Amino acid sequence: MKDNALEAEPRRARRVTHLGRVFFLGECGFRGLAYLQDISTTGCRVISESPLQIGMELELSLVAASDERDIMIEMAKVQWINGDHFGLEFEAIDPQERERLRLFLKTVVMPSISDVAGV
């Protein structure tokens, strides 16, 4: 199915592997919880048992750190679905929140090559 297919497109921003929680709110009070797999300043990949659909628009609350308030994304759109994995593109984010996200991404420790390769 073309709607669910992952298409190879160049990334606009560097993705960082980060496991964390995302709370979301959609139309008509639709709420859910997702778990981050990776994130960038332009979007993220999440896992969720919630019945999301391509094109859905969601407000996100990214749990950044226990000592900071969540990073708020005004609007993210579901771009692709593969089972319980979803790709979200950040379409509207306050400039201050985008800067908080950018600073947060700088603090995320990237795994070493040996960790990724299993060496």
pLDDT category of residue 114 using cuts at 50, 70 and 90: very low
The predicted pLDDT at position 7 comes to: 42
At 2-24, the pLDDT tens digits run: 443 444 344 455 566 667 899 99
Q: Which whole number is the average pLDDT over 36-58?
A: 93
Does 97 have pLDDT greater than 90?
Answer: yes
For the chain, the domains span 16-111
pLDDT category of residue 1 using cuts at 50, 70 and 90: very low
d(CA 106, CA 83) in angstroms, rounded, equals 30
The predicted pLDDT at position 54 comes to: 96
In CATH, which of 1.10.3720.10, 3.40.50.300, 2.40.160.40, 2.40.10.220 is domain 16-111?
A: 2.40.10.220
Q: Which residues are within 8 A (CB) of 6 and not within 5 positions of it... i.e. 6 or more apart? A: 80, 82, 87
Q: Which residues are within 8 A (CB) of 108 and not within 5 positions of it... i.e. 6 or more apart? A: 16, 17, 18
pTM score: 0.76
**Nearest Cα to Cα of residue 36 among 64, 74, 10:** 64
